[in-house]
A and B are shown apart, each in its own frame.
Chain A
Amino acid sequence: MEQHVFAPWLNPDEKPLIQFKGVTKRFGDFTAIDNQTLDIYAKEFFALLGPSGCGKTTMMRILAGFEQPTEGQILIGGKDMRAIPPNERPVNMMFQSYALFPHLTVWENIAFGLKREGIPKDQLNARVEEMLRLTRLAKFAKRKPHQISGGQRQRVALARSLAKAPKLLLLDEPLGALDKKLRQETQFELMDIQEKTGTTFVIVTHDQEEAMTVASRVAVMDEGRIIQVATPADIYEAPSSVYVADFIGDVNIIQGTALKAGDGYDIAWAEGRAPLHSKREGDGFSPTNGASVALAIRPEKVSISAEQPSGVTNAVKGRIIDIAYLGNLSTYHVELEGGQMIKAQTANTRRLSRRSYTWEDEVWVSWTDTAAVLLEG
C-alpha cells in the first residue's frame, strides 16, 4: 500500500495547478457552465463525469483555450489564462472527435506537435517510436487516418496528445472506442505515464468504472454545474445527493420523513410499517424532524435471507420478483409490502439450483444502520 496518501486538496498550503474562479460560459442565452469554482492540483488524475450535454467538453475547451469564459477567470499555475492563446498554454488536449489530420500519416500526426518544438531529428524519431509502441500502432505508422479502425484512430489521438509530454493533459473520452481489455491496459498505461512524468490529467469519461479505477478525484456534473467533487471512494460511499448516488453505480432509494432518534434518525417510509433506522447522513446534511429525506442503500449492502434475520437494525419482508444473473453476482429484485422495490446483490458462491429461495418466494431483506446514507429527498 502507498505510504504517503496523495491528497493535496486537503492541504491548505498546496497551490492548485488549475483554478476555475466563478466561471460561466454561455452560448447565446444557453448557459453551458454555470458559475463554477474548482481547484485541480498538480499530479492529479481528475475525472469529469456526467450525462451527455452537461458541459464536460466545454470545461476542457475553456482550459485548452478554445473557448473564453463569459464570466470568471481561469488560472493555470497561478497565471491568468485570459489572453493566452491555445498554442502558448502548457496544455495538450485529446479531442472527443480525435481531430486527426487526414492528409498526414499516423506517424506524422504523432510527430506534428514535436516538430513545432524544433527538437533534433533523432530525438523526435525516438519519441514518436516510443508513442507508437505505447499505443501499439507501430504497424500502422505509414497509414492515413481513414485507413485504420475507429479504436486505432482513438489511440493515434491519444499518442499525439501524449507525445509532447505537457504539464497538463486533457483527455476527452480517450478510451471509449477500445475493447475492455485494451481499455484496461491503456488505463494502466496512463496511470503509469502519470506516475513517471508527473503530468496532471483531466479526463472525461462516461465509464464510471474507469473513473473509479484511474481517478484521484471525481467531479460529477449536471447541467453545467459540478454537483460533487470527491475521491472515488467518497463519491460511492458518501454521495452528497440522490443525483450523485443514482449516477454512480446502482442504488436503492427509499423516500420518507426523518425523526431524530437516539444517535441517528428513524425514517417513516410506509404507512403502518416499522421505521427504518440510519446513523449516517450525507455531507453537511442534518434533517430537521419531519423533513422529507431519501435513504440511499447500495444493493451489495442489502442482505437477503429466507428466514427473519436477528440482530439487524433494518429488516423488511418482501417477495422476489426477478433475479438477474451476472456471473459472479446475482441481483435480486424484491418487492416490499407496499410496493417499494429493493435490489439486493449477493456473490454467487453457490450454484443457482442450491439456493434456498427463488422467484416468487417470500424473503427478508436487511441492512445495518450504517449501510444507508440519509440524503435530502
Chain B
Amino acid sequence: MRKFALIALPYTWLVLLFFVPFLIVLKISLSDLALARPPYAPQLDLSAGWQGIKDFFGGLDFENFIWLTTDDLYWKAYLSSLKIAVISTLLTLMVGYPMAYGMAKAPEEWRPAMMMLVILPFSTSFLIRVYSWMGILSTEGYLNQFLLGLGLISEPLMILNTPVAVYIGIVYTYLPFMILPIYAALDKLDGSLLEAAEDLGCSRFTAFWLVTFPLSRSGMIAGCFLVFIPALGEFVIPSLLGGSETLMIGKVLYEEFFNNRDWPVASAVAVVLLLILIIPIVLFQRNQQKEREAGQ
C-alpha cells in the first residue's frame, strides 16, 4: 500500500501534466479548422447525449497529418531541425567535454566555484541572454568590432541570421546540460584505474583514451540527449538568431499557431515532433538504466 502511494504521486503528476495535455493536443490535431472560438471543430457536446458523442468522434480524421506530407515545407523543416540539432549537439559535446574534464581534474576546493559558474547563466532570463548574442554577433556587434579592431578581417562577418548563429546560440544555451552529466561521470571515476593503466604501460594519453573516455561514455550520452531533445524543437534561438533562412520545426509550429491560427495543423506538427522525440527519449532511458545496473 505504501509502495503504491509512493509511485502514485509521480504517476498523477505525469498523467495531469503530460498525458492529459497530450490527449488534448492529439484531439486538436485530428480536428478541422473552424472560424470559431476555439478555432477548431468538432466540439464535444454532451448535452446532445449519445448522438453528441457519435458526432464528435465522426468529426475526427487524419486530414492534417496527410496535409503535412503534401507540403514539402514540413518534412524539410523536420530534416533541417534534425540536422541542426545533431550538429549543435556534437559541437556542445566538443566544447563541453574539455570543460567537464577540467572541472573534474581541478583541485577539490575550486570545484564548487566552477560548478557555480556553469549554472550561473540560468539566473538571468534565457531570452535576455539570447538577445545579448544578437548584440555580439550582428554586423556592427562586439565580435565584428573586435576582429576589425585587431585587423584580422577587413569586412564585417555575416554571422547573425545564419545557421552559424543558431549553432552558437544552442551550444551556449545548452552547454550546462552537457557539462553536468559528463562531470558527474568523470568525478565518479576511480583515480586508481588511471594509475593501474599507467602501471600496465599506458602513457597519460593512452590511459585517458582507454580508460577515462570509455568510462565517461554514459555521461556523454546523457549530455547529448539532454541537449538534442530540446534543441530539436527549439524555437526562440532560431527565430532570434537564425533569421528567415533557418528552417526549424519549432518556428513552423509557431507560425502555424500564431500567424495562421491553424491550431489543428500546428497540433499535428507537434504530435509528429513528439513521435520523433520518443525514439531518443527511450534510448536515453535505456542508457540511464544500463548505467544504474553497471553502478551496482
B193 touches A (CB below 8 Å): yes
Q: Please name all residues of chain A whose beta carbon is closer than 8 Å to the beta carbon of B196 when the two chains form the complex.
A: 93, 95, 99-101, 160
Given contacts A101-B211, A102-B215, A102-B294, contact A85 B190 (CB under 8 A): no
Q: How far is the CB of A116 from chain B (nearest CB, A)?
A: 4
- Which of A86, A103, A144 has a CB less than 8 Å from the CB of B199? A86
Q: B195 touching A99 by the CB < 8 A rule?
A: yes
Q: A146 touching B202 by the CB < 8 A rule?
A: no
Q: A116 touching B193 by the CB < 8 A rule?
A: no
> How many Cβ-Cβ contacts under 8 Å join chain A to chain B?
57
Q: Please name all residues of chain A whose beta carbon is closer than 8 Å to the beta carbon of B195 when the two chains form the complex.
A: 64, 66, 86, 95, 99
Q: A99 touching B190 by the CB < 8 A rule?
A: yes
Q: Who on chain B is nearest to A160 by CB? A: B200
Q: How far is the CB of A76 from chain B (nearest CB, A)?
A: 14
Q: How far is the CB of B196 from chain A (nearest CB, A)?
A: 4
Given contacts A95-B192, A95-B195, A99-B195, contact A164 B215 (CB under 8 A): no
Q: Please name all residues of chain A whose beta carbon is closer than 8 Å to the beta carbon of B201 when the two chains form the complex.
A: 87, 113, 116-117, 164
Q: A146 touching B200 by the CB < 8 A rule?
A: no
Q: How far, in whole Å, are A64 and B194 apart by their CA atoms in the complex? A: 13
Q: Which one of A91, A95, A164 has the greatest number of beta carbons of chain B within 10 Å?
A: A95
Q: How far, in whole Å, are A364 and B212 apart by their CA atoms in the complex? A: 67
B281 touches A (CB below 8 Å): no
Q: B294 touching A113 by the CB < 8 A rule?
A: no
Q: How far is the CB of A146 from chain B (nearest CB, A)?
A: 6
Q: Who on chain A is nearest to B218 by CB? A: A103
- Which of B199, B211, B214, B217 has a CB less than 8 Å from the CB of A87? B199
Q: A99 touching B192 by the CB < 8 A rule?
A: yes
Q: How far, in whole Å, are A272 and B166 apart by their CA atoms in the complex? A: 99
Question: 27 A–B contact pairs at CB < 8 A?
Answer: A66-B195, A66-B199, A86-B198, A86-B199, A87-B198, A87-B203, A92-B199, A92-B200, A95-B192, A95-B196, A97-B192, A99-B192, A99-B195, A99-B196, A100-B196, A101-B196, A101-B211, A102-B193, A103-B215, A103-B217, A112-B200, A113-B200, A113-B201, A116-B202, A146-B296, A160-B200, A164-B200
Give chain A's interface residues, CB within 8 Å of chain B: 64, 66, 85-87, 91-93, 95, 97, 99-103, 112-113, 116-117, 144, 146, 160, 164
3 closest pairs, A vs B, by CB?
A113-B200, A116-B201, A99-B196
